[in-house]
Amino acid sequence: MKYILLLLFWLATIVSTESAEPISPFLVRNSLSPTPSIQLVNFQQASPEDKDVNRAFIQSLILPGMGQVYTESKRGYAWLGAEVALLVSYVIIHRQARQLKSDYVQGVKDGVAFDGPTKFDQWNMEDFEHATMYDNWYNVYNESNGEPSHPRIGKWYWKDRKEFKTQNRKDKADSPTRVITLQARKDSNFTYERARTVLGLLILNHVASAIDARISAKIFNKKYQLGHHIRTGISPKLATEKPQIEITKRVVFRF
């Protein structure tokens, strides 16, 4: 009888074990499927490439505005526009000055005649300038007895005042050709001064633009690298946990 009861107990244990279900099947099914959730995460913003301050400086020193374009500053177009405007102005003014210079040199050649074999091919620019300041050879590099101190210049006179060769022009009418040529020379010199002023502004534009480009590069690096290097934000994230299934065997006594 004792052995029969033990046998029945053992059979009941087997049947109960085989028929038992795992604990919380609902939880097991849920663990098998991904669970969407929103989590606070930290992320690092992709910072732009640093701008080389020396490169920006050299670029704008060579061509104003290019350093600012490199540092993504809109001021670069203003610097570049100023460079173009100054460069065009310099070319135009310098061309005008050269034309006026050519006019007064040609005016001297057209209005002056020589007493002797000397020709203009021996003159330099200083001689042409002096010719506009005096109206006959008595007044050009004068030494004693009306002899010029530089024989290469020769004895010359203005054609429209030929009488001045032997007369003192004091208190007499001046040579109209000389007056016109002198004014052309003054205009040429004044225009050359303007061209030099514009050239100085061009050089200043290069230097100032280079300094501004260097400052722009520093501002760019400070703003985008230091000020916005790391940000904290909210990003949706799909969290999937590995399913964890635990099977517990239970012993059920059924009588």
The pLDDT-based confidence of 97 (bands split at 50, 70, 90) is very high
Q: pLDDT tens across 114-124, in order? A: 887 777 888 88
Q: How confident is the model over 9-57, as pLDDT tens digits? A: 554 454 444 444 444 444 444 444 454 444 444 434 444 578 889 999 9
- Does the pLDDT of residue 200 top 90, yes or no? yes
Rg (C-alpha) for the chain, rounded Å, is 50
The DSSP annotation for 23-47 comes to S-HHHHHHHHS---EEEEEEE---P
Task: Give me the mean pLDDT over the 215-225 stretch.
Answer: 85
- Boundaries of every domain in the chain: 53-232
CA angle 234, 238, 240 (to 5 degrees): 140
**Which has the closest alpha carbon to 130: 181, 175, 187?**
181
Residue 64, C-beta contacts closer than 8 angstroms, at least 6 positions apart: 79, 80, 82, 83, 205, 206, 208, 209, 210
85, HSE (Cβ side, Cα atoms, 13 Å):
8
* Per-residue confidence band for 63, with pLDDT thresholds at 50, 70 and 90: very high
pLDDT at 247: 52
What pLDDT is stored for residue 173 in this prediction? 81
Among 157, 150, 141, smallest CA distance to 122 is for 150
Q: 215 or 231: which carries more pLDDT confidence? A: 215
